[in-house]
Amino acid sequence: DFPPGDAQYHNYDEMNAELDGIVKNHPDIAAKSSIGKSFEGRDIPVLKISRNVQQDENEPEVLFDCNQHAREHLTTEMCLHIAKRFTDGYPNDPTVKDAVDHREIWIIPSVNPDGSSYDIETGQYRGWRKNRQDTGTDLNRNWGYKWGCCGGASNDPNAEDYRGPGAFSAPETSALRDFINSRVVGGKQQIKANIDFHTYSELVLWPFGWTQDPVTDGMSQAEHDRFERVGKEMAGTNGYTPEQSSALYVTDGDILDWEWAQHKILAYTFEMYPKDSGGLDGFYPPGNVIDRETARNDKAVDILLREAGA
């Protein structure tokens, strides 16, 4: 489990209990289901939040997903914070109420439950990043758009950024792909926007990651300008640095590139707190920063929810 100083973090069972508690307290606006199973057979839960949650209404949908990378535990807390805020905050907070009434919000607090459980299993952090298939696959190099194209991932199974033997070879990425594909209704993708939460470095990143060119096949100048405008607006509220994801480093097979290329989802990666901490320590901030560092993204989340209707 988490070490004593970090008991505020939710392990897999605690995460599920938190989601179940939210649904119990707010059955009209919150519902839990599963997008599928991890390699080791854990369900990957998704929480839907919306007025008349049991109906598929014609409202813009927004996805928040967390913890593709095992050791990035603060992101699971970020998704749980969003889930609490958009349920407990309804109907007293007008911004929250507006979003719950006019959006369908999907929250996946842990895309990689095997990896995060493995990371904390001994009570001492292992610094684990990948899933738990064989030597582990980096889920954020396993997506199927330009998978393995450009030197932005490794073909060495022992590498931290191993892309897997084929696109969507990981059950976790294929489950999330299938979920996103399932939101095509009447030929139209309902999910309009996404934040994929990671740690760390305090960045707001947008596609493409496979190339340093801002404008290229599948990304017009106007599309790029929208990513940049909304990215900078969000970064203005949390103090993160906004940039194209490949400015950090080139990746191929990351989630953003696939979501944009396949579905035109306005998709961002947030790298959360801290800004800078040499090496592995940055993945393990103490539990007492969770409230501050998750609330720090409230306004950015609201901006994305607004923009999903544009």
- Residues tagged active-site: 271
- Between 81 and 198, CB nearer to Zn ion: 198
E-assigned strand segments in the chain: 30-37, 43-49, 61-66, 104-108, 184-185, 188-189, 191-199, 203-206, 241-244, 266-272
Rounded to the nearest whole angstrom, what is the least distance from the CB of residue 50 to Ca ion in the complex? 8
Look-up: residue for tokens 């995460």?
Answer: 15
Torsion of CA 245, 247, 249, 253, to 10 degrees: 30
- Between 190 and 238, CB nearer to Ca ion: 190
Q: Is 141 in the site for Zn ion (CB under 5 A)?
A: no
Of the candidate spans 37-45, 102-110, 243-251, 259-267, the one that interacts with ligand 0X9 by CB under 6 A turns out to be: 243-251
Q: Which of 57, 33, 29, 37 is nearest to 47 (CA)?
A: 33
The answer, yes or no, to whether the previous bond of 179 is cis (omega within 30 of 0) is no
Q: Give per-residue burial for 129-139: e unless 16+ CB within 10 Å, then b.
A: bbbbbeebbbb
Q: Is 282 in the site for ligand 0X9 (CB under 6 A)?
A: no
Q: Fill in the per-residue mask, 96 to 135: x = in contact with ligand 0X9 (CB under 6 A), - = not in contact.
A: ----------------------------------------
Please tell me the count of residues contacting ligand 0X9 according to CB under 6 A: 14
Per DSSP bridges, beta strands 104-108 and 61-66 are parallel
3-state helix vs strand vs coil in the chain, percent to 5: 40, 20, 45
Q: Is 190 in the site for ligand 0X9 (CB under 6 A)?
A: no
Q: Is 150 in the site for ligand 0X9 (CB under 6 A)?
A: no
Q: Is 75 in the site for ligand 0X9 (CB under 6 A)?
A: no
The answer, yes or no, to whether the previous bond of 273 is cis (omega within 30 of 0) is no
CA 102 to CA 79: how far, in whole Å? 20
Which of positions 67-96 make contact with Zn ion (CB under 5 A)? Answer: 69, 72
Residue 244 binding partner per list Zn ion, Ca ion, ligand 0X9, none, with a CB distance cut-off of 5 to 8 Å that depends on partner kind: none
Q: Fill in the per-residue mask, 261 to 280: x = in contact with ligand 0X9 (CB under 6 A), - = not in contact.
A: --------x-x---------
- Which residues sit at the interface with ligand 0X9, rule CB under 6 A? 69, 72, 140, 198, 205, 209, 245-246, 248-249, 251, 254, 269, 271
- Which residues sit at the interface with Zn ion, rule CB under 5 A? 69, 72, 198
